[in-house]
């Protein structure tokens, strides 16, 4: 039995690394437990980059969180001494009545965000990496961009350690139980007690939070990188990140960074619900063909050789909103399941919220969208 901690963080991926930093900087004695390496390629945060955008088509309610996320990313990169947030502008495009275009516009209107509305031809003329259908409409928001997601995990862990956090990789948690007013956590190597537990186990969260066994569903995703004929068209200064609804589905993409190709993915890829421990981690010709088809049609200047592919995991809720809450039957346990394919950009603010919930049970942010009870009722 080792010394007690104030807070144990279960899972040091995107969310857990940020929570460990925010807790440690406030003087909490933090133990962070991670089953793989830090960082690693088995969960939801790898593949080098993740989109961040203010014009939030999923709901305008996310915009206050996003403003804080930007502030916190800028603080983290200043403290770490390395750029983590890259501003490229963002394109949210689709048919005029699509949720991607209309929702993005609604967020801009409700929160007074600077933006331009362009049709497909205007986008393609201004940004020659794009070949959108001319009938598409797009919101261009200048503050969109991307986060260097794996470096950001390293940054948060390094900053947490500088504040005394005890972070351990390759130590798999087997379970937890209430213990006095706090918790006892058992791993492959030992048993630890703490006043509070933050569960940020990504695709594995159902193993530790019973209500999420059915309500947070892991799904296999695949990322692809494709070689452009003129890489200059796809560099961060010429190619804004995008979300776009096409006939083939909803896609997202990012400029060349860290690998020599345009990066693209399709939300919900092939619709494969999986057990994360048994998932096929090979990328197949069917995976590649699905992504290449969209590149050839809508970004043909990047239709060259495949530069890389990577499997990854979404963890979906039925309404695609996050779970950020304390467990009603065990208030010393804070749960963070912020995925459904759009959570990474929020790590910097969700880490702060998790620290608030662990320390005070409250947050200054409106978390009503993220309550566990809505999924139990559904
Ligand atoms: C292909 C893809 C593209 C995406 N694109 C975007 C995007 O552009 N923008 C965006 O905002 N979001 C995006 N997302 C979503 C975003 O990446 C996720 O919301 C985010 O990574 C979730 O972070 P997490 O901390 O919950 O999960 P993770 O980073 O996976 O962390 C969970 C951690 O818990 C650990 N763990 C699990 N079980 C145990 C155990 N028993 N013991 C110890 N440790 C354990 C895991 O090993 C892991 O490290 C994308 C996701 C995918 C898969």
pTM of the model: 0.98
**169-176: long-range contacts (C-beta < 8 A, 24 or more apart)?**
169/12, 169/34, 169/36, 169/37, 169/38, 170/34, 170/35, 170/36, 170/37, 171/33, 171/34, 171/35, 172/33, 172/35, 173/10, 173/11, 173/33, 173/35, 173/201, 173/208, 175/208, 176/10, 176/208, 176/333
DSSP state of 335: E
pLDDT tens-digit profile of 109-157? 999 999 999 999 999 999 999 999 999 999 999 999 999 999 999 999 9
Contacts (Cβ under 8 Å, ≥6 apart) of 217: 273, 315, 316, 317
Q: Which residues line ligand 1 (CB under 6 A)?
A: 10-16, 33-36, 42-45, 47, 50-51, 172-173, 200-202, 204, 221, 223, 252, 265, 312-314, 338-339, 341-345
Q: Is 49 a catalytic residue?
A: yes
Q: Is 312 a catalytic residue?
A: yes
Choosing from 22, 25, 35, 49, the catalytic residue is 49
- Strand order across the 85-87 sheet: 49-52, 145-148, 85-87
Q: What is the pLDDT along the chain (378 residues), one digit of tens a residue?
A: 444 899 999 999 999 999 999 999 999 999 999 999 999 999 999 999 999 999 999 999 999 999 999 999 999 999 999 999 999 999 999 999 999 999 999 999 999 999 999 999 999 999 999 999 999 999 999 999 999 999 999 999 999 999 999 999 999 999 999 999 999 999 999 999 999 999 999 999 999 999 999 999 999 999 999 999 999 999 999 999 999 999 999 999 999 999 999 999 999 999 999 999 999 999 999 999 999 999 999 999 999 999 999 999 999 999 999 999 999 999 999 999 999 999 999 999 999 999 999 999 999 999 999 999 999 765
Q: For the chain, what's the residue count?
A: 378
Q: What is the pLDDT of residue 376?
A: 77
DSSP state of 283: P
Q: What is the pLDDT of residue 2?
A: 45
* Residue 287, beta-bridge partner list: none
**C-alpha–C-alpha distance, residues 271 and 248, integer Å:** 13
From the list 10, 356, 332, the residue with the least C-alpha distance to 182 is: 332
Crossing angle for the helix pair 347-360 and 14-25, nearest 10 degrees? Answer: 50
**C-alpha–C-alpha distance, residues 306 and 293, integer Å:** 12
Q: What is the pLDDT of residue 51?
A: 98
Q: What's the gap in Å between 203 CA and the centre of ligand 1?
A: 7
Nearest CA to ligand 1 atom 3: 341
């Amino acid at each position: 039995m080792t010394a007690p901690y104030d807070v144990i963080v279960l899972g040091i991926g995107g969310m857990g690394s940020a929570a460990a930093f925010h807790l440690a900087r406030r003087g909490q004695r933090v133990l962070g437990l991670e089953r793989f390496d830090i960082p690693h390629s088995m969960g939801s945060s790898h593949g080098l980059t993740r989109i961040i955008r203010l014009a939030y088509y999923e709901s305008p309610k996310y915009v206050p969180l996003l403003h804080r996320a930007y502030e916190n990313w800028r603080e983290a990169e200043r403290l770490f001494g390395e750029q983590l947030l890259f501003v490229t502008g963002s394109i949210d495009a689709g048919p005029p009545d699509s949720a991607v275009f209309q929702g993005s516009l609604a967020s801009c209107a409700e929160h007074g965000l600077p933006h331009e509305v362009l049709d497909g031809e205007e986008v393609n003329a201004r940004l020659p990496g794009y070949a959108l259908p001319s009938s598409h409409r797009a919101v261009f928001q200048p503050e969109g961009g991307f986060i260097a997601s794996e470096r950001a995990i390293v940054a948060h862990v390094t900053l947490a350690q500088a504040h005394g956090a005890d972070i351990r990789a390759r130590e798999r948690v087997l379970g937890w139980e209430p213990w006095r007013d706090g918790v006892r956590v058992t791993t492959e190597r030992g048993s630890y007690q703490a006043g509070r537990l933050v569960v940020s186990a990504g695709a594995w969260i159902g193993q530790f939070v019973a209500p999420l066994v059915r309500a947070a569903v892991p799904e296999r995703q695949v990322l692809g990188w494709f070689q452009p004929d003129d890489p200059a068209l796809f560099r961060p200064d010429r190619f804004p990140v995008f979300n776009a609804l096409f006939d083939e589905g909803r896609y997202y993409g990012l400029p060349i960074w860290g690998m020599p190709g345009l990066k693209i993915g399709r939300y919900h890829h092939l619709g494969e619900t999986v057990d994360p421990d048994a998932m096929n981690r090979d990328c197949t010709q069917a995976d590649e063909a699905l992504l290449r088809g969209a590149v050839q049609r809508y970004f043909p200047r990047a239709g060259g050789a495949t530069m890389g592919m990577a499997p990854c995991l979404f963890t979906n809720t039925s309404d695609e909103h996050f779970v950020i809450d304390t467990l009603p039957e065990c208030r010393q346990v804070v749960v963070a399941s912020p995925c459904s394919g759009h959570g990474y950009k929020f790590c910097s603010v969700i880490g702060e919220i998790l620290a608030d919930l662990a320390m005070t049970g409250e947050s200054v942010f409106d978390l009503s969208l993220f309550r566990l009870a809505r999924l139990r009722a559904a």
